[in-house]
Each structure stands twice: as structure tokens, then as C-alpha cells.
């Protein structure tokens, strides 16, 4: 793909020109999956910038919701959900650098692949939750198992949804915190952003030596906001390319694809997530695309694009983007 | 347009089959523009369902910002901004009905049309405001005058933006309140939603006899969220068709275009606007498209589309939509 | 009371020295109570600064909830609730002035006075509401009728609460809006602030000629936040003194009693109400009590007092105060 | 103190009757202070339920702000702030238990004790922050060094504030997260709640074997909300009694003193912190004080007391309390 050759990853990454090695991070090799993202776990893999990793992710329920009778409140053991592959050590990565993750492909894993969507008690945007605490009864607990392949997500007899895979959780380690895999934050984490699929590059701030990359939580598709609390969660084979950009100080994750650049913020309330995303985008346009700060601010008021990732996780995630047409 | 024939407006509106009259609501005929939306002002026009109205809207600054030296803090006199045409009385409209407003076209008005964008002190998403009160200094006050026509918005030497017109403020009157033209709310008002342009139909709840339709605040284009606080504000000639749907009880405005249906919510914080929009959409799918409530909720978690209208007005506005493909 | 002689009302009000007239604003004289606060209603009374008014307020349910079987969802007709006495015209009041309202006393009205507390569907802090829209079921609808007198509020066999009366809704008219009596805002309105009882002076910004004072919504007691959505609502005889302070430009209401001064903000989310209150208090200390702005800010971080009025109304209300000990 | 004998700690704690040992947790014994609260650090002390610990806490700036010229942005190295003593292992504590911490006394430490208050760039309630991201300039950076002793906090020539010490940060370890010392959450953490001083008992949920108690961040006084972002931060000698209550499943911290019981919530936005606090209080009254749930809810709407701890930390903290008079 031609745009890729002009991407930030390719033009600023340290891997330039080298032939990548491919690593297989199978379930077996991963062994123990992780429920926190932090500096205290043992690496499973060490790679060089430019390398390709084929990752076998588990679904956010760890595969425990096998049938529509397996209610999450019975089969899950909080906070042991949303298991992550990693940490993958990236050679040469230091605090103040950025790890770039290009997603080459995401395929359903296993025979007769099925995804899982669930309404979980005290979870989801239209229910009281542990954070928006109410005295109202929970909504009913419902599980849906959905057949899927690379052509479609077979939601119901009436509706087939397009297969639009993306990674829900992606991050390098925070500097000193070890954070469970439910909240997104400035390190990345559980952003649940539909743009983070094949053909995208995510830029993640490095905060510890080796970066310690974590990845998991594949979605076969997801609507804006992930309103009921879950996407079509599935086990995937996700193939990524990882590169390293030295000395790029980011406060928050960023993303690039063929048509846009996007800054990503996670916070509550939702306007604060949006503010972070837009502020980071404005500062990016100022620092790297020759825009005056106020010109960028006023122009985004005319052409900025907002994607609501989720408004159900412990922090909500928003991406603010601008078409590459305006960056030339 | 074929989709229009199958729209809710055409299939449920009372105008069916009649030849519309066209009314001209010129600046002269409007006379005094309105700064509140309510039941206490004198009608300027009375129309029959199905009629067409050609409206001369003024820009949100009332045309007072003529050059880039006309700073809003000097030339504006709050709260006398965002002037509205109307109220237009719709024959037969009663509390519990819905007025449908199809936008046929929006053209810049006057010779050498120019739009206006401004950074206004204590306004905009990235500044302290009267509602998010801080001790920080205001951002600089800046005005941009922008040439535009029906082919483009000539933002700068570097950037031409597409002409994507829409109406910022549209509503019927509340039942007893008379609300200034800055906040959006369940009656509609200053929603600043980019989808509300030519080719869209907006459905507004009727709360007083005759509906009392108000319209104004044309934007030549606007990004998601209207981050700096203003769009490319301009004086327009906006042509609408107005119909009446009897006995459709809506709590909040809704919208339809060729490809989707959308429910609209306005509130603070932003997640509450999003909750309203999604809840209304779910109840709509349940009431009129044969969906089970929980199926709709879980499915929107996979395919719902969110548009951030504004996060700068006294309430923020969000539209939640679903493709018509899934409603057949 | 000695402090009253040194209050802002007494030292800066125009009434100084004159003997007040007393006006009776009985139910009969009021006639039609008001459901919006605005500039469009007919005055019921005109008074001179310094005058005393004995007001017969109706309870927020208009007296319609007579027994515990009178469920609000059945007997109320929204938005016709929270009826207000007024508008009372204050001679000489102009935009840019302040009306001071000292509450002399509040007594239960009628034989065998009883208050009313209710859990109303889709209302209250621990339920989904029209603004925090959820799919969860409503909480049960429950009415409590509570005997009360000036010695106590006889909540249950187990608990007698102290009689701590205050006015829930108090305001002058906005300039152009006519706002229903549920939301509080910068004009005052439905603040539900327990400090606003006998022995307090509230300072309200004047925005229209004659001020147009509205008052209603007496509470026999109320906890911080009014969590279930209603206080012990009752019909009262409330005696106030009204004075006028010329040329005091306030953006938001303020309050004074024997021991503190307090600024009041209303907004969503709740932190924004708190920000407004603290900002107004800091600017007040700077403008009138000889404090440097940053000294006031840092000192309030050590001794500021916050009262949560309500977090159930369309906007939430917070008062931020400082002891008069630190203002000498 | 007599009330203490009837406290939950004394009546349900496992220490009953035993003579406590006293442990000295001096700076020297502590050695390395901690910047995260979690399960991965090495214990400094192991105690038995009922024991007394005399803790030498460091101030939140680690003593690095020695003069008013030591600007935080220069002398601090984020995230290495708010150092904690601990972890203290409590014998017999297991997940599902509660650790009770009674604060016996807090004394300033060292000769000529001084506290520190600072306005820190991009921090505090009236500034843009890393979470409420704005383009506005930061407020000025200002440091105040304040003499203090057990009689007063000598704020300025004009103002002496009362010495009202409390602990800003107190918690047991989360189960799997290791969280930096800035945010409060359901484990406790940086709650900055003025009630948490001498004469109070805090109840903390135990989530790992041994509880792993952390303590630090003494304040000589603090206003409601800690509006500028910092209290009068000082190095203290804090004496606590620690007990263990078996099988008391708490989701959030709770507090008790002579006159009230209080539930504590931490979240953003601020209404969500308040909701958590009130919900926990209602469920507590139902579970342990014989109240019907809805009676508790409606009664707290009349007599609940809300304390705003902070609205400046990554999550805001609110306590909701009820007088013990109503619990008999």
C-alpha cells in the first residue's frame, strides 16, 4: 500500500529497510495471559523494530462464555477478564519514544468461529453501573453467540453486519502503575476504538525501557460508543508490524490510516475525552504540519471528525481526526 | 428523490398529494428576528402542511461582524445573538403531533457571500466558559471572514473546505418556556448538527397549538463538535418543506435522510446527550421497526453511528443513527 | 439581630432608615401561580425597597398530593408544578442592580400542617431520568405525608427531624428567557439550597426593569443534595424583607448569614456548579474584601465550605462559602 | 472516649481486649517510600489487629519544596509524588475483610514545622488540567510556606486558620492493580477528605492477603474540595490503631466518628462520586441499621450530609453521612 510508505511509521521508524522477522505469539507461547498492563510482568517475547508478530488473542471473556446459557455473572471472575498477550519487549525502546503498531490483518481463530456479545449486570451505557451508582434494578443479563467469518457477522436472521475487525485493547506499559485491562488511559489500554483495525497504525507512548507492548480484545465489529458494553468479542489471529520512533514525546496515543490522522483521548466525563483528543490534534498540527495553533483550532471547528470509541468503560474514549487532504 | 417518497414525512404526513404553496419569508417580511424560542411571540407566517417556505436567514452574529476587526466582544450585545426566523404557524398542529422539516436547499445569500468564524472570549470547548468557570485567561479573540460559494469554503490559501451547509437552529416552541437561542434541548434549538442539511428531514415535537416553527443559524460547514464555538456562519436562503404528522409523540427531535434514521439528544455532560440519543433510537426501533428492545440495544452496540453536533453550547448535542439497511 | 445591621443589605441597600410597609401576598391575592420565571407575566404586587412581604406559598406539588395514595404520576400535570408567587415589582430596580431578600420567618400554613415527600418515576439522583436516560426500570413510586410544626418534622415513629425551613425557589426574572420553575440557573430559580432559610439574605441579579421577584417551593427540611428528588415540601407563610442595591453587577446569586458569605452556582456536571460557586467567591473576596486573587484561591483551598444544594434538578446547585471571621 | 467503645471497630474488630503493641514506623524504618499502592511492593511492617502504629509521614511534595522559590514544576519529578508509608501487613486479613484505622493523633514533625501549599501548572479546579484539557494558559505557579503548630496554621498576617489535621491518602492494596498515589478509588487512595482526622475511624476493604495498608499525605487543614489542588501539606507524626473486621464485604471505604457514619465515593463527574457515596450509605442503613431501603433513601433526602473531599484529583471524592442520632 502506497500510503504506508509515506506514513509516519515508515518515514520516521528506526526499522527502515530491514527485512522483518516474523514471530508467532501463539496461545501456547503466551501461556499466562495478563489482566494488568504494567511494568511488573515477565516478557513473553523480544523483537526488533520492524518485526512482524502473529498474535493469537483470546476474547474478552477468556473463552468462558461458550453458549448463550453461560451468563457472565456466573462464569466470569472479576477482575480477571480482557486477557492480554504480551508484554512484548521492543529492542531499543526507551521512555520518550513511541512504538508504532501497524495492523496487517485480523482473522477469526478456530473452526466455526463465533463471537460473543453480552448485556452484563451493572454494565453498559444505559444501566446503572459501579461508577454511575443507582438504586434501579439491573437490565436483564443476556448473551448472544454470533457466527462470523471474514465476510460477515451473522447477527440474526434479519441482519448481517459487515466484518469490521479491530483491536479493543493496545498499549505500552505505564511507568509505575499496573492498570487492569478495563480502563483506557493515556497509555492506551481498553480504548475500544473501531478505527484501530487492519490498515491502521497506532502510535503509543513508551514509558518504560523496552516499551512492554500488550495487545488483546479483538472485536469483529463495534458501533460507535459500544453502547451495551460489549462488541462482538472473538478470538483472533492478529498480525501486526511493530516499529520504533525515537524521541517522539506523546502524552496520548495517536492513529494514522490512509485517509486521516487522529489523536485519542480517554477520560470522564465524555467532553473531557473529546477535549483531550482535539487538544492533542491541534498541537500535532502545530508541531508537525505547519499550522498556526489558532488556525488549526478554528479550522477543526469546520472539518474535525470525531469518533466515539466507547462510553461504557471506566474511562470513555474519543478520537479526533482530520483528513490528510488538509495536511499537504 | 426516490427515498423521499418512502420517508416518514411522505408516508405519514397529512399533506399527501396536495400541491404545495410556496411562501417567501424574506428579511423584510420577517422584520424583527427572535432571540427566544417560545409561545409569546407574534407569528410571521401561517402555512398549510406540505407547504414550501423560502427563508432568508441571518447569520448567528446578525451580520454585525463585517470585518476581521469587528470583535464579537465589542459588536455583539448578549443575549441578542443567533436571530431566528419565525414563528411559522402550521395549520392543524397540536401538542402531541410532529412537524417534519425537509430541507430542499441552502444557498449563500447576497453578492460576494462571506462566512464568519470567531474565537469568542470565554466560549468554545478549549477555554474556560461561563459554565465551566475557571480563573485562566481567555484565549485570544480572533475573527475570520471566509469567502464561500456553493462549490467551496475558501478557508485559507492552503485549504478549501467543501460547502456542506446545514441549519444550526431549528425547533418548534416549548409548551411554556421561552428559551434563548443558544441552548439546544428537547424542543430542538441550537443543535448545530451537521446532518441537518439539504436532503434531510428533521422531526420536531409539537408542544403548542400551531407548532410555532423557528429556523436560523445557517452554517456553510462545520466539524464534529464545533470545537472553537462557531462554524462558518453565514446568511442563507434556505428552502424547506414542512409537513405535519398527527399523533406521533416524540420526546426529542429525530432526523432521517437517504441512508439512516437518527435520534437526537442534548444535555450535559456529553455522555447524557449520547444516552438520550441512543435510548430514543432503541425505543424507535422497538416501536416502529419490529425490533425487540434488547436486540436493538445489543445490535446498536455493533453498528450504531454517533455524530457529535456541538460540545460548546449550553447543552451538548449528539445524534445516534442506524443505517436504513437494517430496518427493512 | 446585630449582624443584620452590618450586612450588605443594610449597609448598601437603598431602603436605609425608612419604615417598611408590610404587604400580604395571600393565595387569594396571588390568584394564578406561575410555572415560568420570566418577563412575560403580569405583576401581582409592587413594593418599595425595604418593604416586608408576607407570602403564602403553595407546595411544589400545588397541594395535589393530599394522601399517600395520590401518586405524582397520576395527579400532576407536567410541567405545571412548583408554582411561584409573584412577580413582585421592586420600585427603582434596573438591570445591573441586585435585589436582596432577607427571610424573616417561615411557618407552616393551615391547620394540621403536613409535608410531602415523594419518589417520582424517572426523577431523583439514584434513578435514570429524562436527562440521564437509561433503559432500567423506574424505582417504585412512593409518597410520604409527614406531620410537622415549628418544632419538628415527624418523619416516622423512629425519627423526628428538626424543622429547618428554607425556600427552594427564589429569583428575579431573566432578561429575555421565561424559564420553567424546575431548573436553577444564573437568575436563581429552583436552587434547593438549605442555607436559604430564616436568618439568611439572598442577593439576586436584576435583569429587567422592576426586577420581577418570584418566590415559592418551601421546604420544612432538606438534606444535602435532595437525593430522592424532593424535600419535605409544604405550604408556608414566608415573611421576607426586600431591598435594592444599585449598581452591583452579579453574574450569579449570592447569600449572606450571620456567620458566612456564600456564592451560588448551578450547572451540570456537578463540578461545574462547584467551579462557578468558587470562582464567584474568589472574585468577590478580591473585589470587596481586599484579597489578592491567588491568595483567595489558595486560602479557600484550606477553609472553603461547600454546600451541595441539589443534584436532582435540571441543573445542580452548589454554594461555596467562607466564614466571616476571615473577612475582617 | 466513650463513643469509641461502641464503634464498629471496637464491637466487631478481632482485637477485642488485647493489649496493643506499639510500632514505630520512622522515616528510617520506612526507607523507600512508595508511589504506587498495590500488591507488588515489599512490606515494611507486620502487625496484629489492635496494634498501634506511630507513622512518620512525609509531605506530598516529599519535602522537596523547601522555600517559596522551589517551584513544583522544577523540583518535582512526576509521577514520583505523594509518597506513602507502608505496606503494613495486618495479620489474618483476607480478601472480603475490612481493616479499621482509628486516628489517635497527628502532630507536625520536626523543629519549626511548616506546611506547603502550591498552585501547580495544569492542576487545580479552576485551571485546565491534563484531564480537562484546554488551550488556555496555566495559572501562575505559586508556592506558599506556612508556619504551623498544633494550635494554628498561620496563613498570613491577616488570617490564622485552625489546625484541623487529617490524612489525605489511606488505603489497602487493590487486588491486582498497582495504582499511583494521585487518584482515589474504591480502594481508598488520595481521597483528601477532611473528616479523616484524629477521632475518626476509616474502614477499608481488604482485597489481598495481609491487607497491605498504605498511609501518607498529611494535611494541617483543608477546605471542602481542595480547590487550588493542594492543602497545607506537611510532614506529620500520625498515630493510628489498626483493627480487623472479618467478613465485612465493602465495595468502598467508610468512616465513623463520634457523631456520624459516612460512606465515601470517588469518581468523575462529581455527581457520580456523590451517587456512590449515597448509594453505599443507603445500603449500609438497610443492612445494618434496620432501615427499609426506600425509607432510607427518602429520609436522607431530608437529613443527609455531604462533604466534598476533593474535586481536583484524577477522581473526585465525596462523603455522604448521617447523624448517629437517627441510627439508634
- Residue D17 has a pLDDT of 76
Dihedral sign for Cα atoms in the order D69, D71, D77, D79: positive
Angle C14-C317-C2 from CA coordinates, rounded to 5°: 40
C-alpha C285/C-alpha C301 separation (Å) is 14
pLDDT of residue C195 exceeding 70, the answer is yes
Interaxial angle between packed helices D270-288 and D293-303, expressed in degrees from 0 to 180 and rounded to the nearest 10: 130
C-alpha C307/C-alpha D125 separation (Å) is 17
B223-264 pLDDT, tens digit each: 999 999 999 999 999 999 999 999 999 999 999 999 999 999
pLDDT of residue C59 exceeding 90, the answer is yes
User: Which residues in C lie closer than 8 A to residue B131 (C-beta atoms)?
Assistant: 267, 272, 276
With pLDDT > 70 as the criterion, what percentage of chain B qualifies? 100
Chain D neighbours (≥3 Cβ pairs under 8 A) are A, B, C
ipTM rounded to 2 decimals: 0.98
**φ and ψ at residue C75, rounded to 5 degrees:** -95, -15
pLDDT of residue A210 exceeding 90, the answer is yes
Among B133, B136, B269, the residue with its CB nearest the CB of D134 is B136
User: Which residues in C lie closer than 8 A to residue A138 (C-beta atoms)?
Assistant: 136
C140 touches A: beta carbon within 8 Å = no
- Residue D1 has a pLDDT of 65
Mean pLDDT, rounded, for B41-61: 98
Looking at residue B32, what DSSP letter applies?
Answer: S
Of C186, C196, C252, C199, nearest in space to C226 by CA: C196
With pLDDT > 70 as the criterion, what percentage of chain A qualifies? 100
Residue D61 · residue D81 · CB < 8 Å? yes
CB-based contacts of A227: which residues, under 8 Å, 6+ apart? A124, A125, A126, A311, A312, B278, B297, B300, B301, B304
How many alpha carbons fall within 13 Å on the CB side of residue A65?
32
Residue B144 · residue B117 · CB < 8 Å? yes
A213-224 pLDDT, tens digit each: 999 999 999 999
Chain A: nearest CA to D271, how far in angstroms? 8
Residue contact C135–B297, C-beta within 8 A: yes
A233-289 pLDDT, tens digit each: 999 999 999 999 999 999 999 999 999 999 999 999 999 999 999 999 999 999 999
CB-based contacts of D18: which residues, under 8 Å, 6+ apart? D48, D50
Dihedral sign for Cα atoms in the order C304, C308, C309, C312: positive
Per DSSP, the three-state class of A302 is helix
Residue D58 in grid coordinates: 512525609
B269 touches D: beta carbon within 8 Å = yes
Strand order in the sheet with B52-57: B22-25, B52-57, B236-245, B98-108, B201-205, B254-256, B260-267, B316-323, B305-310
C162 touches A: beta carbon within 8 Å = no
Among B126, B135, B138, the residue with its CB nearest the CB of D139 is B135
User: Which residues in C lie closer than 8 A to residue B179 (C-beta atoms)?
Assistant: 177, 179
Residue contact D222–C297, C-beta within 8 A: no
User: Which residues in C lie closer than 8 A to residue A126 (C-beta atoms)?
Assistant: 128, 133-136
Residue contact C128–A133, C-beta within 8 A: no
Dihedral sign for Cα atoms in the order B126, B131, B137, B138: positive
- Residue A1 has a pLDDT of 65
Mean pLDDT, rounded, for C198-220: 98
Looking at residue B258, what DSSP letter applies?
Answer: S
Judged on CB neighbours under 10 Å (0-12, 13-18, 19+), A31 is exposed
C-alpha D255/C-alpha D303 separation (Å) is 18
Mean pLDDT by 10 residues, chain D (328 residues): 92 91 98 98 98 98 98 96 98 98 97 97 98 97 98 98 98 98 98 98 98 98 98 98 98 98 98 98 98 98 98 98 97
| Size (chain B), residues | 328
D164-212 pLDDT, tens digit each: 999 999 999 999 999 999 999 999 999 999 999 999 999 999 999 999 9
A166-187 pLDDT, tens digit each: 999 999 999 999 999 999 999 9
Residue contact C79–B275, C-beta within 8 A: no
pLDDT of residue B18 exceeding 90, the answer is no
Residue C182 · residue C215 · CB < 8 Å? no
- Residue C107 has a pLDDT of 98
CA closest to B157 among chain A residues: A326
Q: What is the CA radius of gyration of chain C?
A: 19
D134 touches B: beta carbon within 8 Å = yes
B270-298 pLDDT, tens digit each: 999 999 999 999 999 999 999 999 999 99
- Model confidence at A16, in pLDDT bands (50, 70, 90)? confident
Question: Chain centroid to CA C225: how far?
Answer: 14
pLDDT of residue C147 exceeding 70, the answer is yes
Per DSSP, the three-state class of B9 is helix
Among D139, D140, D301, the residue with its CB nearest the CB of C223 is D301
Per DSSP, the three-state class of B138 is coil
Residue A267 in grid coordinates: 477520560
Q: What is the CA radius of gyration of chain B?
A: 19
- Model confidence at C1, in pLDDT bands (50, 70, 90)? low
**DSSP β-ladder status, D260-267 and D142-148:** unpaired
Of A248, A205, A238, nearest in space to A86 by CA: A238
- Residue B1 has a pLDDT of 66
- Model confidence at C39, in pLDDT bands (50, 70, 90)? very high
Helices within chain A (DSSP H only) = 2-5, 8-12, 27-30, 72-75, 270-288, 293-303
Residue C60 · residue C82 · CB < 8 Å? yes
C-alpha A213/C-alpha A98 separation (Å) is 11
B142 touches D: beta carbon within 8 Å = no
C-alpha C79/C-alpha C37 separation (Å) is 13
C-alpha C276/C-alpha A122 separation (Å) is 32
Residue D28 in grid coordinates: 528510617
Cis ω for the linkage preceding A79 (within 30 of 0): yes
C-alpha D310/C-alpha A208 separation (Å) is 30
C-alpha B301/C-alpha B291 separation (Å) is 14
Q: What is the CA radius of gyration of chain D?
A: 19
Residue B236 · residue B106 · CB < 8 Å? yes
Per DSSP, the three-state class of B281 is helix
Per DSSP, the three-state class of D310 is strand
Mean pLDDT, rounded, for A148-164: 98
**Total beta-carbon pairs less than 8 A apart between chain B and chain D:** 36
Per DSSP, the three-state class of A272 is helix
In chain A, the largest separation of any two C-alpha atoms, in whole Å, equals: 59
C-alpha D193/C-alpha A58 separation (Å) is 41
- Residue C16 has a pLDDT of 86
How much is the mean pLDDT over chain D?
97
Strands (E), chain A: 22-25, 36-37, 45-47, 52-57, 85-90, 98-108, 114-119, 142-149, 152-154, 166-171, 179-180, 184-185, 188-190, 201-205, 213-219, 236-245, 254-256, 260-267, 305-310, 316-323
> C76 or A19, which is more confident?
C76
- Residue B3 has a pLDDT of 96
| Size (chain C), residues | 328
Chain A: nearest CA to D49, how far in angstroms? 28
CA closest to C118 among chain D residues: D298
A32-91 pLDDT, tens digit each: 999 999 999 999 999 999 999 999 999 999 999 999 999 999 999 999 999 999 999 999
A63: left (phi over 0), alpha (psi -120 to 50) or beta: left
Angle D199-D201-D204 from CA coordinates, rounded to 5°: 155
Residue B151 in grid coordinates: 462549490
Among D228, D306, D308, the residue with its CB nearest the CB of C301 is D228
Residue B55 · residue B87 · CB < 8 Å? no
C-alpha B149/C-alpha A318 separation (Å) is 32
Amino acid at each position: 500500500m502506497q500510503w504506508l510508505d509515506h506514513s509516519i511509521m515508515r518515514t520516521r521508524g528506526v526499522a527502515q529497510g530491514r527485512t522483518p522477522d516474523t514471530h508467532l505469539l501463539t496461545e501456547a507461547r503466551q501461556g499466562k495471559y495478563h489482566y494488568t498492563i504494567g511494568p511488573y510482568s515477565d516478557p513473553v517475547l523480544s523483537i526488533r523494530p520492524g518485526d512482524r508478530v502473529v498474535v493469537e488473542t483470546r476474547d474478552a471473556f477468556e473463552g468462558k462464555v461458550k453458549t448463550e446459557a453461560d451468563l457472565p455473572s456466573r462464569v466470569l471472575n472479576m477482575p480477571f477478564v480482557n486477557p492480554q498477550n504480551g508484554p512484548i519487549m521492543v529492542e531499543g525502546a526507551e521512555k520518550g519514544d513511541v512504538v508504532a503498531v501497524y495492523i496487517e490483518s485480523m482473522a477469526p481463530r478456530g473452526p466455526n468461529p463465533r463471537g460473543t456479545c453480552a448485556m452484563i449486570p451493572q454494565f453498559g451505557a444505559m444501566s446503572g453501573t459501579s461508577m454511575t451508582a443507582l438504586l434501579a434494578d439491573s437490565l436483564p443479563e443476556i448473551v448472544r453467540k454470533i457466527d462470523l467469518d471474514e465476510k460477515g457477522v451473522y447477527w440474526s436472521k434479519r441482519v448481517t453486519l459487515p466484518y469490521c475487525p479491530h483491536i479493543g485493547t493496545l498499549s505500552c506499559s505505564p511507568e509505575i502503575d499496573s492498570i487492569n485491562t478495563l480502563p483506557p488511559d493515556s497509555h492506551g489500554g481498553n480504548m475500544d476504538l473501531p478505527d484501530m483495525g487492519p490498515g491502521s497504525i497506532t502510535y503509543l507512548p513508551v514509558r518504560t525501557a523496552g516499551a512492554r507492548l500488550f495487545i488483546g480484545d479483538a472485536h469483529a465489529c463495534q458501533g460507535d460508543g459500544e453502547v451495551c458494553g460489549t462488541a462482538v468479542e472473538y478470538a483472533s489471529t492478529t498480525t501486526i508490524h511493530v516499529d520504533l520512533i525515537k524521541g517522539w514525546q506523546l502524552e496520548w496515543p495517536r492513529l494514522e490510516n490512509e485517509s486521516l490522522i487522529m489523536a485519542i483521548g480517554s477520560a470522564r466525563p465524555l467532553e473531557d475525552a473529546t477535549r483531550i483528543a482535539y487538544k492533542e490534534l491541534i498541537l500535532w498540527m502545530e508541531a508537525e504540519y505547519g499550522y498556526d495553533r489558532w488556525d488549526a483550532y478554528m479550522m477543526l471547528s469546520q472539518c474535525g471528525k470525531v469518533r466515539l470509541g466507547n462510553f461504557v468503560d471506566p474511562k470513555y474514549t474519543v478520537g479526533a481526526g482530520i483528513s490528510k487532504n488538509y495536511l499537504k
